[in-house]
Structure 1
C-alpha cells in the first residue's frame, strides 16, 4: 500500500486503550467507518499495567485491614496474605497479558484493528509500521483521534537505566515479592504501591522529595495516609531526594541528599508521567513531538478542524474514567461534525463539551485508608478569588462509620462557594470512602444548591451520614 493509495476510513484512532476504544465505539455507533491502531496490547495501560492490576493487588490488603477492624473477625485475619494467590488473582485480571478478549470486542463493534506503530503523515493521514515492517497508509475523511496516553517519567539520574528500575508497569506486573523495596515519590502510584507491596511482605522505604504525600489533595489526606503507612511498618522519609543509584551484585544501592545509603532488592520510581507523543508524527502537522496536545472542550486540537487529542495526551485529567468521559464527548463531536450538525462551543451542559474536566474531576486513592476527592481543594478554590469556606468533620461523629469499622478514623471536608451556595469540592479520607465520592461528584458537577442537599437524606446508619454532619457543621458555622 502506498501513500497514493491509502485505505480510507471516516475516522482513524491512534491508541487502543480504554480511551481509544471508547472513541471507536461512539464513532462506529454513529455509522462511521473506523480504524484503530495499537502498538502494544489492545486495552492499553489501564487493563494491563495500571488500574486493573494495581487494584487487584490492593483489594486483598484493604479487605484484610477492614476485617481486622471488625470485632469477632479480627482474630481470624492476623496472618500473612497468600502472596502467590494474590499475584495469580492479579494475573487473571490482566488476562495474563493477552488481549484476545479486547480484540474480539473491537471486532464486535465493527472497527478495524491495525497492529503496529502509528504515526501521523500529514493532515488526515496515518502510517502504520507493522510487526513485519510493512507500512500501511490510512486516510481519514473526518477525523484522526490521538489517544496514545502517557509513559512513566524517570528522573535524570546518572546510570538510572542501567539499574533496571521499576516504573508503574513493573510494580503492577512483578511475579514475585521483593524482600526490600524503595519507592521514590509521594503521589498516587507511590502510596498505592507502598500499600500493596508492604501488605504482601516487602520491607518498604518511601522517599518523598516534598513535605508530604498526595500534594494535590487536601493536606489532611496525605497526613492520614502517612500515619497509616508508618503504622503498617513503612519507613517514610519526607524532604528526601535521591542523588545516586546503582545496582551492585543484584542489590540496589540508593544515596540521598541527607547522607543516607539504602539497600534494596528493587526500586520503584513513581515520579511523574510524560505524554506518549514523541514518535507519532506530530511534526508532520506542525506540532511539537513529545508535547501535550492543547484541545478545546470538544477535544479537538487547537488550530485544527480534524485532529483530536483525547485522554491523558491533553493533560486535562490523567485518569482513566476522565479519559473515557472525554472519549464519549469526542466521539459524539466527531459524529456530529461528520453529519453537519452545528456544535455550540458555549453549551457547557451539551453532549459535545467535556466540562467536567474543569470543575468536577473525581479521584480515588486505594490506600488504607482510602482518599477520595472531587473538584477543588480549599487552597485551589481560594486561588480562584472566590469567597469560599472549608467545612470539616471527623467520621467519628457518624454512627455508620463506627459500625463499618471499630475505631474508624477518617476526615471529610466540603468547600463551599459562599456567593453561589454550591459545593466546589469534597474530600473524604477513611476506609471505604471510594464508594462515597460519586454522591459528591453529582453534587459538584450538577451545582446542587446547599439548600437542596438538605433534602437528600442519607440512610441510617451508613457512612453516607457524613453528608448530614457536614451540612450541620456548615449551618452552625
Structure 2
C-alpha cells in the first residue's frame, strides 16, 4: 500500500461510479495500489440519478398495474398510487443521496479515495482539484482508467442556459409530482419517465421526432409500449420536434413549449431526454493529444487506441460501445485483469473467449426497458439483421398462450421473438415484451453467448407453469415451420 504522502500509485481511476469501482476493485485485489478520484457521489450516476432511482419509481407503478388487472386482487385496488410513499421509497433506495455506504466499501476494498475533479496532465499523470481548493498531483506507474461516464445531451435551443429544465437527473430525483410534464425524446429515459410520472399523477405529453418509440428495439415491442402509454393517458406526439421553450414568468413559472409545427404546450416541467454525451470535456484529454468532449476509442481490451504506451484505458460509457451499467461493469472486470496482467508481465489472453478481451460487446448486449409492458432484448433485432445483410429466421410466439403467463395474468398480452441463424442453428437475437419478462433475458443471453444450438436447447427443459416455458413454445414454432416447409427437424 501507499502512505498518504506518496502520490504515486500503480493505478489511477477517474470516476467512482459502478464502472470505476469495479476497475479499482479488480486492480486492488491484484495487489496494485489504486486511487479512485470522484468529484460527486461515490457510486455515480447509476446509484443516485439513473438505474436505482428510476426503478424505484417504476416498480410500484408496474406492480400497481399488474394488481389492478388481476382477478380477486383488482377489487382491492381502491385508490390511486400513494405518490408521496413512492418518492420516500425512492429516497430510501438512493440512501437519501448519501454515499457513506459506498465510501465504506471503497475503503474496505483497499482502495484510496480522493475527492475532487481529476484531469489528465500528460502521460500517466493526473491533477486533482479538491473541494478544499488544493491541487494534488498523481502519477500512475502502470495505468490511468477513465470511467467518467456520460451526461445528458441537450438540444440546440435558444435561451436554454436560462431555462430551468429537467434532464434524467431531475426526473429521477424530483421532490414533488408535477401537474404537467412535457418530455422531448423517444428512448429509454423518455418512455420510462413517461410511464412513472403518468402513473404518479402527472399529465404527460411526449414529443418525438420519429414515428414511434424506442427505435432500437423490435417494432412490435415498442408499439405495445406506445399503446399502453396512450391507454394510461399519455399524449404521444410523433413526427415533431421542439422549436422553443421558455418560462415567460420566470424560473418558477409555467414552461411554454412551441413545437416544430407551431403548436404550443403549457406545462410545469420539461424533460430533455435527447441522448447522452461523454463526460470528457474537462478531464484534460488535450494534454495527451485527444479532443476534449469526445468519445474515447478503444480496442477490445479497452485500451485507448490513439495513445501510445498502453497506459490509458476508457471504460464504460466513455468509449461509446454500450451505454449500459452492466456492460460497463463487464468491461471493468476485463480491464482490471488487463492492467494486472500487463503490470505483472503476463501475456494477454485475447483469443475469441480470452479473459482479457471484451467479446460480449460484439455478441450479446442485454437490455431491459422497465416500461409497461417490460421489454427485454439481447443480440440482434430483425432490423439489425436486415441492415447487416444477415439471413435469419424470425420466430414469434404470443407469451399469453403459455400456461405460466396465464397464471401471471389471465389476460396476459405479450410476445417473444427469436432470430435463428439457419446455417449454424444458433440464436442470434431475442426480444420479449410483456409483464415480468426481465427475468427471461439472462437465459437468452446465455443461449446467444454460448452459441447453443437449437438441438441442444430442446434438452433445456423449462419448469411448468412458468413464463420461461416460452422457450419450449418458440422451439416448437420453429420445428413446425421447418416441418411445414419440408425442411424437417
Write the mapping of 1:28-427 to structure 2, written as runs, cut at 5 A.
Answer: 28-249=28-249, 250-303=253-306, 304=308, 305-345=310-350, 347-427=351-431
Provide the secondary structure at the position in 1 that maps to 2:354: coil
| Equivalence for 1:473 | 477
For the Cα contact (< 8 Å) 1:68–1:78, is it kept in 2? no
Shift of 1:400: 1.1
User: Are 2:452 and 1:448 aligned?
Assistant: yes
Aligned to 2:122, what secondary structure does the other structure show?
coil
Question: For residues 229 and 318 of structure 2, what CA distance do their matches in structure 1 show?
Answer: 32
Contact persistence 2:296–2:320 (CA under 8 A): yes
Deviation at 1:6, TM superposition (A): 6.9
Please list the CA deviations of residues 364-401 of structure 1 after superposition, one character each: whole Å capped at 9, or x if unmatched.
00011001100110111232233211111111221111
**Which segments of 5 or more consecutive residues in structure 2 lack a partner in the other structure?**
482-489
User: Retained in 2: the 8 A contact 1:6–1:137?
Assistant: no
Over residues 4-50 of structure 1, what are the superposed CA-to-partner deviations in whole Å (9 max), with x where a residue is unaligned? x9711000000000000000000011000000000100000000000
Q: Following the alignment from structure 1 to structure 2, what is the Cα–Cα distance between the partners of residues 100 and 82?
A: 29
Aligned residues: 472
User: How many angstroms apart in 2 are the aligned matches of 1:246 and 1:384?
Assistant: 43
Please give the root-mean-square deviation of Cα atoms over the aligned residues, in Å: 1.0
Specify the SS of the correspondent of 1:436. helix
Name the TM-score, length of structure 2 as normaliser.
0.95
CA contact (8 A) 1:147 1:311 kept: yes
Partners of 2:185 and 2:206 within 8 A in 1: yes
Cα deviation for residue 164 of structure 1 reads 1.0
Asked whether the 8 Å contact 1:177–1:197 carries over to 2, the reply is yes
Cα drift, residue 359 of structure 1: 1.4
Q: TM-score normalized by structure 1?
A: 0.98
Q: Which runs of 4+ in 1 moved over 4 A?
A: none
* Rounded Cα–Cα distance in structure 2 between residues aligned with 1:220 and 1:57: 25
Give the alignment of 1:426-465 within 5 angstroms. Answer: 426-465=430-469
Deviation at 1:418, TM superposition (A): 1.1
